[in-house]
Structure 1
Amino acid sequence: MFDIRLTDVPDTSTRVVPVGPELDDEMSALVAATDGAATRGRITVFPRPLRSPARVLLAGIGDGGEADWRAAGAAAIRETADDEDLEVHLPAGTTAEAVRGLAEGLWLGGYRYRDAPRGPRTREVRIHGTAHAESITRARVAARAAWLARDLTNTPSSVKNPEWLAGQVVAEAATRPGVSVTVRAGEELARFGGLLAVGGGSVSPPRFVEMSWNPPGATTHVVLVGKGITFDTGGISIKPRDGMKLMKKDMGGAAAVIAATLGAADLNLPVRVTALTPLAENAVSGSAFRPGDVITHYDGSTSENTNSDAEGRIVLADALGYAADVLHPDLVINLATLTGANAVALGKRTAALFSPDDTLAAELAKAGADAGEQMWRLPLSDDYLENLRSDIADRVSAPGGPGSVMAALFLRDFFGDARWAHLDMSAPSWAEAHDLELTKGATGWGARTLLNYLTSLGGDASA
């Protein structure tokens, strides 16, 4: 990540001026001559030949909310070259929330995939007119989490098999004191029947990763479960080509919970967090699991597989059963690129939220709204439970009916009445083009929402 710092030392870099109520005479004249300059995320460029700085960017902040500042930061950074420094001049009275939004937007809009052939970048952003150092620190942690989630999700599946992804978690955790990781493989997965079934068709064996942040004195234990399918062919129920070409993103839920847990450690949050990521490649071969197979999960219950392209819920079921049996958390939140029905129902920017707990649902929705990651709560209707009935197992894996709702009802069966929420984030996990703070490709959706939620539980112990 490039650096953002607070300074009072002028420079000759491109100057960014948010369009707010306090502007000098030159900037006021420019705004007056420019129709719509204050529109959220709009950038107006003014060259200044033979003067320093050589050009000024006016960045519209709309109504001035945190999301508006985030959009302005992202738009400003995109208007510049990858190695160009920026000077940001803030109007008087800019709030801590605005600075945090601006910094997040600068970092998120300036993201580039780390393995892309762009060469090393050197850049610095200097912010004048504020002393909100804590806002910059918090923005840096949130953006770093999103960058990591995007990097992991953007990595091609020719590199990203379960072993590789588990190794990335181990390497990241090693840089944070207090974070521990356990990686299970081979015979250690004997009870994880769903994970073994889904991963059984690939030459790259599955892994089950458990990463823990457990600070002294923590009284709340949150388990985050993320679907980690490193590539999804659909298995025997094979996908068409167009449905398969972006399936390197099918571990976006795992990327988000990994990044959020590491972010909790970076902020020294006084909350115990455990990230569980069942990792597998859903492949086609003679050993692939079949429609009609009966799978025995970690908790001993059984599922009749009716569609091997509905594999995500099968691996998540093992993780939820493990969490209930071994970890006994206060609450569980799982994230998954689970169903195409999510996009049909809610479009490309919005995740589906399911929870039997009204308070938890409201808290997650607020955390998402503050992060600019939209979600909409959908019902867990018992009217559809009959659809899950199987003649040969405890349930079927993929019945007909409303796709996202049925997947959520399937998962609810593995965590009973405990506090639990499920976020189906298949649609917003990927952007087809730059859009506000999103960059084309993996969005890292969920990492910042989870970090906001964890922060709300215990505050920031480092503050």
Structure 2
Amino acid sequence: MLAIRLTANPDRLDTLVLPVRTGATTDGGTAPAMLAPTGVALPDEVSAEATTLLPATRLAGRAGETFAHLRPGGTPQRLLLLGVGDGAGRSWRTAGAALARAARDETHITVALPADVDSDAVRALVEGLQLAAYRFRMTDADESPALAGVELLVADPEAQREAVTVAETTARMTRFARDLTNAPSSVKNPQWFAAQVEAAADLPDLHLRVRGPEELAAEGFGGILAVGGGSASGPRLVELDWRPAGARTHVVLVGKGITFDTGGISIKPVPAMKLMRKDMAGAAAVVAATLGAAALRLRVRVTTLAPLAENMVSGSAFRPGDIVRHYGGLTSETTNSDAEGRLVLADAMAYAARDLAPDLLVDLATLTGANAVALGKRHGALYSDNDQLAADLLAAIEDAGEAAWRMPLPADYVEHLSSDLADLHSSPDAGAGSVTAALFLREFTGDLRDRWLHIDMSAPSWSDGDDAELTRGATGWGVRGLLRWLATLR
């Protein structure tokens, strides 16, 4: 990660970044872009030069616009004008991401922040910088960007210290989730995933338990065992518990953790299979959010459950038409082994509802392709019967720069879950695949039905290219939104 330093007196001044805002008139129209007055005085000749230069750049001040100006022999040696839009959080996040790319070949930059900058803007800027600077490559070649240090020039560094700490923790955990999701399945099996969590969980008041195949069988986690039964790499259930003293609210987060999904006997076509290393992005997100809650010492108890399995084809794989007995005793008929994620989630959610008795239950899963059909690549599909819970999480997700849309849980679709052989049909052929999957999961929430929320985040878990703070590959979707939401709970 980039080294971020708050200062009122820069150590060096190689490249100076000056924010440019969109202009506005009193009648709501547009005006020329303008340099934002900085909180720390700049050399007179630099301010004058930047002011003279700005009209010639044709910058509009839109978030993410950049213009570089060389000053041979001068101090600083380079001016970089950076559009920050209207100064809202999302604009600063976009600006930070653009800056990370524009200054990739620099070794050190100094950003002169506006005099009126607030903590939300600083947090967003740092998140954008750190997330856009992320790259995942498995190679011995040194391909890291030259940019290593960023100084944020402010009049009162101490006033922004907490914002930078929160931003860096959030970015670090998002990058951790991206690392887990990007890792190829040649190394990423359930045991490996559990080992990564164990290595990262060395924090006070953080407790970890990992169940292996024998414990899962002894305790009746039939869904996890069924999905993982076809693989030489046995399934796991990671239980990570952040228990701060004095916490009055207990949240359980559940994340789907299929470390590779062939579709099982209902095998996927090759194009649909090639990115199935990302089918554990939900588990990565909830684990990273819990680690972030512990690192930030949030005053809410968080228990994460990550059911991990590899859905493979073999003589021991579960079959279409099998009856699966889940934790707690409910049975489901599955006629499609490629609808496996809901089976492992059902076990974990039933365990949470029956044995952990939390105040709130939230699950994240790369569950269906129907999510992308309905909402495209950037939005998760959010389901809940609890209006307040849905509104609170949607607000946190939006504030974090992620996106989700609330979807319905229609009562007349429940009949599609009926089975002649079992308590439930796990994969009915009724259309509305994301909706029926959510309705199936709701059956395992017990007394938490009115305090449960599900997010189908298959589409936004992956980006096909660089886009603002996203980089090509895993996005770490959900970590930022969950941490924002958890910070509001007590």
Same-fold status (TM-score > 0.5): yes
- 1:107-146 pair list within 5 angstroms: 107-113=130-136, 115-119=138-142, 123-130=148-155, 131=157, 132-146=160-174
User: Which residue of structure 2 aligns with residue 461 of structure 1?
Assistant: none
How far the C-alpha of 1:393 sits from its partner, in A, is 0.5
Q: Residue deviations 1:390-416, cap 9 Å, x none?
A: 110011111122011011000000003
Counterparts in 2 of 1:116 and 1:443: CA distance versus 1, 3 Å: farther
In structure 2, the partner of 1:232 is 261
Partner of 1:149: 177
Count of aligned pairs between the two proteins:
457
1:307 — aligned with what? 336
- Tell me if 1:22 matches 2:50: no
Q: Does 1:450 align with 2:482?
A: yes
Query: Which deviations, in whole Å up to 9, do the C-alpha atoms of 1:23-58 show, x marking residues without a partner?
Result: 632222222222234111112222222323332221
Describe the SS at the equivalent of 1:211: strand
CA contact (8 A) 2:16 2:110 kept: yes
Give me the TM-score of the superposition, normalised by structure 2.
0.91
Which position in structure 1 is the counterpart of 2:191? 163
Q: Secondary structure, in 3 states, of the residue corresponding to 1:33?
A: helix
1:33 pairs with 2:56: yes
Judging changes above 3 Å, is the alpha-carbon distance between structure 1 residues 455 and 114 closer, same or farther for their aligned structure 2 residues?
Answer: farther
Deviations 1:137-158 (A, max 9, x none): 1101110110100011011100
SS at match of 1:224: strand
**Displacement, 1:10?**
4.5
Cα-Cα RMSD: 1.4
Q: 1:266 aligns with which of 295, 301, 307?
A: 295
Computing the radius of gyration from Cα coordinates, the structure with the larger value is: 2
* Residue number in structure 2 paired with 1:413: 443
Is 1:250–2:279 an aligned residue pair?
Answer: yes
SS at match of 1:456: coil
Could you tell me how far apart the structure 2 residues matched to 1:15 and 1:240 are?
51
Residue matched to 1:182 = 209
Q: Could you tell me whether the CA contact under 8 Å between 2:189 and 2:310 is conserved in 1? A: yes
Among candidates 461, 476, 486, match of residue 429 of structure 1:
461
CA–CA separation in structure 1 for the residues paired with 2:341 and 2:227:
9
Runs (5+) with no aligned partner, structure 1? 459-463
Q: Deviations over 1:242-297 (max 9, x none)?
A: 10111100000000000000000111011100000000000111111111000000
Instruction: Give the whole-Å Cα distance in 1 for the aligned partners of 2:479 and 2:371.
Output: 19
Deviations 1:375-433 (A, max 9, x none): 00000111101111111001111112201101100000000324000011000000000
Contact 1:114–1:151 (8 Å) recurs in 2: no
Following the alignment from structure 2 to structure 1, what is the Cα–Cα distance between the partners of residues 63 and 240?
39
How far apart, CA to CA, are the structure 2 residues paired with 1:52 and 1:156?
46
Deviates further, 323-332 or 114-123: 114-123
Question: Cα distance, 1:186 vs. partner?
Answer: 2.2
Counterpart code for 1:364: L
Residue 310 of structure 2 aligns to a residue whose secondary structure is strand
- Residue of structure 1 equivalent to 2:118: 95
**CA distance 1:157–1:361, change in 2 (3 Å):** same
* Matched-pair contact (CA < 8 Å) for 1:230–1:250: yes
* Alignment partners' CA distance in 2, 1:28 and 1:82: 25
Which segment is superposed worse, 109-118 or 58-67?
109-118
| Larger deviation, residues 126-135 vs 75-84 | 75-84
- Decide whether aligned partners of structure 1 residues 82 and 259 sit closer, same or farther in structure 2, where only a CA change above 3 A counts: farther
Identical amino acids, percent of aligned pairs: 58
Provide the rounded CA distance (Å) in 2 between the counterparts of 1:42 and 1:10.
27
Counterpart in the other structure of 1:403: 433
Work out the CA distance in 2 between the residues paired with 1:56 and 1:244: 46
Is residue 47 of structure 1 aligned with residue 48 of structure 2?
A: no
Alignment partner of 1:364 out of 376, 393, 401: 393
Q: Is the 8 A contact 1:108 1:438 kept in 2?
A: yes
Q: Residue type matched to 2:351 in 1?
A: Y
Structure 1 residues 81 and 116, CA, compared in 2 at 3 Å: closer, same or farther? farther
Structure 2 gaps, min length 5: 22-35, 39-46
CA distance, structure 2, for counterparts of residue 56 and residue 226 of structure 1:
45
Q: Distance in 2 between matches of 1:457 and 1:45?
A: 43
3-state SS of 2:247 partner: coil
Q: CA contact under 8 A between 1:37 and 1:58: conserved in structure 2?
A: no
Q: Which amino acid aligns with 1:19?
A: V
User: How much has 1:299 moved relative to structure 2?
Assistant: 1.6
Determine helix, strand or coil for the equivalent of 1:457. Answer: coil
Residue 160 of structure 1: how far off its partner (Å): 0.4
Is 301-310 or 55-64 further displaced after alignment?
A: 55-64
Aligned to 2:91: 68
Separation in structure 2 between the aligned mates of residue 30 and residue 226 of structure 1, nearest angstrom:
51
The one-letter amino acid paired with 1:127 is: L
Instruction: Measure, in 2, the Cα distance between the counterparts of 1:22 and 1:43.
Output: 18
Q: If the length of structure 1 is used for normalisation, what is the TM-score?
A: 0.96
In 2, the alpha carbon distance for the partners of 1:47 and 1:306 equals 65
Query: Mean alpha-carbon deviation: is it higher for 12-21 or for 186-195?
Result: 12-21
Q: Identify the match of residue 78 of structure 1 among 83, 101, 105.
A: 101
**Aligned partner letter, 1:107:** Q
Equivalences for 1:344-359 in 2 at 5 Å? 344-359=373-388
Q: Are the counterparts in 1 of residues 10 and 110 from structure 2 also a CA contact under 8 Å?
A: no
Aligned counterpart, 1:332 = 361
- Structure 1 position 13, deviation (Å): 2.9
- Is residue 37–residue 59 contact of structure 1 (8 Å, CA) maintained in 2? no
Q: Distance in 2 between matches of 1:25 and 1:365?
A: 44
Match of 1:377 in 2: 406
